[in-house]
């Protein structure tokens, strides 16, 4: 699971905590409070893309083969994809399992 890796001391912070590198929020993995993760059953998946449309965190990543992969760096385990999937191809699985 992604970990927040912020160990800067106060003297190292930039002026007013300004961020000079555009797009650096990609490096901030926000998936670490997830308790469940979505698992896609490719036998049931019809590549409709509704999971990708509904995911509030852009954690469903379209792959070249037309399927959708889950980015566990950002998935917070909300379960919207599983709820919206018209073919019940997505199951939420406890992280401990």
Q: Which residues of this protein are in contact with other proteins, per CB under 8 A?
A: 4, 6-11, 13-20, 22
| Secondary structure of residue 53 in the 3-state scheme | helix
By beta-carbon proximity to other proteins, the closer residue of 25 and 64 is 25
User: Which run of H or E residues covers position 88?
Assistant: none
By beta-carbon proximity to other proteins, the closer residue of 14 and 65 is 14
Contacts of 13 (CB under 8 A, 6+ apart): none
By beta-carbon proximity to other proteins, the closer residue of 13 and 53 is 13
- Least CB distance to other proteins at residue 72 (A): 19
The C-alpha atoms of residue 47 and residue 28 are separated, in whole angstroms, by 29
Structure tokens at 18: 């300004």
- Least CB distance to other proteins at residue 62 (A): 27
């Amino acid at each position: 699971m992604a970990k927040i890796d912020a160990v800067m001391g106060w003297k190292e912070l930039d002026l007013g905590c300004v961020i000079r590198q555009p797009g650096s929020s990609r490096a901030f993995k926000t998936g670490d409070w997830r308790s469940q993760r979505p698992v896609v059953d490719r036998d049931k998946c019809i590549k409709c893309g509704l999971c990708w449309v509904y995911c509030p965190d852009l954690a469903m990543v379209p792959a070249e083969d037309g399927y959708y992969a889950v980015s566990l760096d950002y998935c917070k385990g909300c379960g919207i994809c599983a709820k919206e999937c018209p073919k019940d191809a997505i199951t939420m699985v406890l992280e401990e399992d």
